[in-house]
Amino acid sequence: MAKSKSEFTGAIPTVAGAGSARLGPRVEMATAGNVAEFVRLPKAGERCPVSGASRSWLIETDQELSPEDRFLIRVRRRGCLRGTVFTSVPKLSSFLSRVAAGKVEGFIAGIAAEVENEN
């Protein structure tokens, strides 16, 4: 079931990066003082500007999560084959906080050396 914009924040969503004329008044561009609600998925070989995670890690991790926990949002226009993938910053931050607290099954967090020893 699709969520309305009021279910996310109650306001117009903010987007980081270059704006699109087609999005017009439906989104607000993030300024340096505030954090965007959505950022585009990084290109291959680049890192997420929010978490520093790789593109492949974001995609693989998102696919392992239940639908309500997924932080990637795929958007395409009706009839188009291609679209854009955005990262929901609040959902990604929430996921990482739950992993750090040990509340997500299948993921462990800690100092890098400790995590490597668990494998």
Cα(115)–Cα(104) distance, integer angstroms = 15
pLDDT digits (tens, 9 = 90+) for 53-82: 999 999 999 999 999 999 999 999 999 999
The residue ranges of every structural domain in the chain are: 5-89
Task: Give 105's pLDDT tier (boundaries 50, 70, 90).
Answer: confident
* Beta carbons within 10 angstroms of residue 73's beta carbon: 17
Q: What is the pLDDT of residue 36?
A: 78
Higher pLDDT, 107 or 41: 41
Contact assessment for residue 52 and residue 96, using Cβ atoms and an 8 Å cutoff = no
Share of the chain above pLDDT 90, in %: 45
Report residue 59 as tokens.
């995609």
Taking the model in full, what pTM does it have?
0.65
Q: Does pLDDT of 50 surpass 80? A: yes
